Amino acid sequence: MIRLEDVRKAFHQGSPNEVWAVRGVTLTIEPGSVTVFRGPSGSGKTSLVSLVGCLARPTSGRVRLGDRLVSALPEKFLAELRRRTFGFVFQQFHLVRGLSVLENVMLPAYPEAPPYAELRARAEGLLGRLGISDRAGARSEWLSGGEAQRAAIARALVNDPQVLIADEPTANLDTERSRDFLEIVAGLKAEGRTVILTSHDPLVCEAPLVDRVVPLRDGRVEGAA
């Protein structure tokens, strides 16, 4: 279970261009569920998933993972959480240019330093599962949007995380590719993983597999006091 307690996040705090991206969000995300943060651009969706996924620390408030208060953890432990508990699929995918798809997928496991053959087999297995085995040797910048997203999903799953976070996963995909993505999410849900998405795409927000849609506006949960 992930719990956010009155979480706030400011950027450029104390300077004239101070922006409060998240303004007091309290919510609970159940394990094994699919949750969508829905809202227009600038509503704080990306900031919120960054806080959930330990990519950033809240300016105030608390983030708990199970019984553990993660918002107060030192950076070293946050990195370990990002590596072992969360898998990220960024809106722009952020695959490392110049590396092959396979190398990109293996990247999050480097600090764990598993035996190379085992890691390679794991990465190839994921690429096979996501249907892009034939692109394993291709450089990441040569991929189409759909292929890049699958590669990013494979990278997010290589350390077998409990939670997958995807920021605007269908923003760069056509309808068919978006449906493919939702099928992948359904598979992950069936495996018991928690999936957190940000989107304002009705195809995602209205998908039957989604357990909960959290509407956001101006950094707050809409309808919340």
Among 45, 82, 150, 193, binds another protein (CB under 8 A): 82
Among 35, 63, 90, 136, binds another protein (CB under 8 A): 90
Q: Given the structure tokens 């101006």, which residue do they identify?
A: 218
Would you say 77 or 187 has its CB closer to another protein?
77
Residues 159-218 that bind another protein (CB under 8 A): 159
Q: Is 142 in the site for another protein (CB under 8 A)?
A: no
Spatial distance between the Cα atoms of 188 and 192, rounded to a whole number of angstroms: 7
Residue 200 beta carbon to another protein: minimum distance, rounded to whole angstroms: 19
Helices (H) and strands (E) in the chain, counts: 7, 10
- How far out from the chain centre does Cα 206 lie? 19
Q: Are 166 and 195 in contact (CB under 8 A)?
A: yes
Among 31, 40, 66, 98, binds another protein (CB under 8 A): 98
Q: Is 113 in the site for another protein (CB under 8 A)?
A: yes
Q: Is 99 in the site for another protein (CB under 8 A)?
A: yes
DSSP string, 49-117: HHHHTTSS--SEEEEEETTEEGGGS-HHHHHHHHHHTEEEE-TT--PPTTSBHHHHHHGGGGGG---HH
Among 16, 75, 176, 225, binds another protein (CB under 8 A): 75
Q: Are 167 and 45 in contact (CB under 8 A)?
A: yes
Backbone angles phi, psi at 3, to 5 degrees: -130, 130
Among 83, 122, 189, 220, binds another protein (CB under 8 A): 83
**Contact region with another protein (CB under 8 A), list: 32-40, 60-68, 78-86, 188-196:** 78-86
Please report, as ranges, the residues that interact with another protein according to CB under 8 A.
11, 47, 50, 55-57, 75-76, 79-80, 82-84, 88, 90, 92, 94, 96-99, 103, 107-108, 110-113, 115, 155-156, 159
